Amino acid sequence: MRTKVTRSSPETALLRVLDALAQELIEASDEEIQEIAQALRMDLTMPESAAWAGVTYFARPRLDEFFDVDPHKKLPEGH
């Protein structure tokens, strides 16, 4: 009997891999995380550590860091 071969879509295959890898990350121990952070020279006690980028502060540069884009300043008096 021939082996049944099923071709899955790339997205299905990707999702299967992502789910499995997410599970690995869920199971990662605190020690493993600290060890990797140390290897990357990240000081987790520092709030500005790159490890916290995107978590406790914005990882991406934002427009308002470079330009005055506060729309409220443009509102006329009384608004």
Out of 43, 46, 48, 59, the only residue in the binding site for other proteins (CB under 8 A) is: 59
In this structure, the dihedral spanned by the alpha carbons of residues 10, 22, 59 and 34, taken in order and rounded to 10 degrees, is -140
Distances in whole angstroms, Cα of residue 32 to Cα of each of 27, 38, 70: 10, 10, 42
Distance between CA atoms of residues 77 and 73, nearest Å: 10
50 touching other proteins, by CB under 8 A: yes
46 touching other proteins, by CB under 8 A: no
3-state secondary structure of 57: strand
Task: List the interface residues with other proteins, window 12-41 (CB under 8 A).
Answer: 13-14, 16-22, 24-28, 30, 32-37, 39-40
- Contacts with other proteins by CB under 8 A lie at 8-11, 13-14, 16-22, 24-28, 30, 32-37, 39-40, 42, 44, 50-60, 62, 64, 69-70, 72, 75, 77-79
